[in-house]
């Protein structure tokens, strides 16, 4: 199964259904099941403000583990018009949880389900995860 490594707490936000769009600097043609891997790197607290509150992070936050399975249903380039439309469609929290600006790409996720965390070594870009 394809997987993507995402820093915490953004991986948790996807796993709990609060974040439905993952923003990236690169596009993918892949559509289908996508394992959400929480990276091992402890994020810099500078990244939390203003986009994500520090309260979303604690010592129990899983690191280095696949924590959810989602369906990647689309990948679209971001335009000023699309971003403005999404503010109404998805709400300002979704916009706050990503890096929305023209020239970047929005990976649209659906049918997210949390799983019992499974240790895995993450990688950059999309990678293959062998589900145990």
On whether the CB atoms of residues 42 and 63 are closer than 8 A, the answer is yes
Q: Is 53 in a helix, a strand, or coil?
A: coil
Q: Is 118 in a helix, a strand, or coil?
A: strand
Give me the CATH topology for the region 2-128: 2.30.130
User: What confidence tier does 101 reach under pLDDT thresholds 50, 70, 90?
Assistant: very high
What is the model's pTM? 0.89
- Sequence-ordered list of residues with C-beta below 8 angstroms from that of 18, at least 6 positions apart, any chain: 93, 97
Q: What is the mean pLDDT of residues 56-63?
A: 78
User: What confidence tier does 33 reach under pLDDT thresholds 50, 70, 90?
Assistant: very high
Q: Whole-angstrom Cα distance, residue 3 to residue 82? A: 26
- Convert the pLDDT of each residue in 62-83 to its tens digit: 999 999 999 999 999 999 999 8
By C-alpha distance, which of 28, 24, 2, 17 is closest to 98?
24
Q: What is the pLDDT of residue 91?
A: 78
pLDDT, averaged across the chain: 89
The ranges assigned to domains in the chain are 2-128
Q: How many CA atoms lie within 13 A of 77 on its CB side?
A: 3
């Amino acid at each position: 199964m394809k997987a993507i490594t995402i820093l915490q707490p953004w991986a948790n936000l996807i796993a709990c259904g609060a974040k439905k769009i993952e923003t990236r600097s690169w596009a993918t043609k892949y559509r289908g099941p996508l394992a959400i891997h929480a990276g091992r790197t402890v994020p810099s607290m500078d990244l939390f403000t203003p986009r994500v509150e520090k309260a979303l992070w604690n010592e129990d936050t899983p690191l280095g583990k696949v924590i959810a399975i989602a369906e990647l249903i689309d990948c679209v380039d971001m335009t000023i018009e699309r971003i403005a439309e999404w503010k109404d469609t998805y709400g300002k929290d979704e916009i706050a949880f990503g890096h929305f600006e023209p020239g970047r790409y929005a990976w649209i996720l659906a049918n997210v389900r949390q799983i019992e965390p499974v240790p895995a070594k993450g990688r950059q870009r999309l990678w293959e995860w062998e589900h145990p």
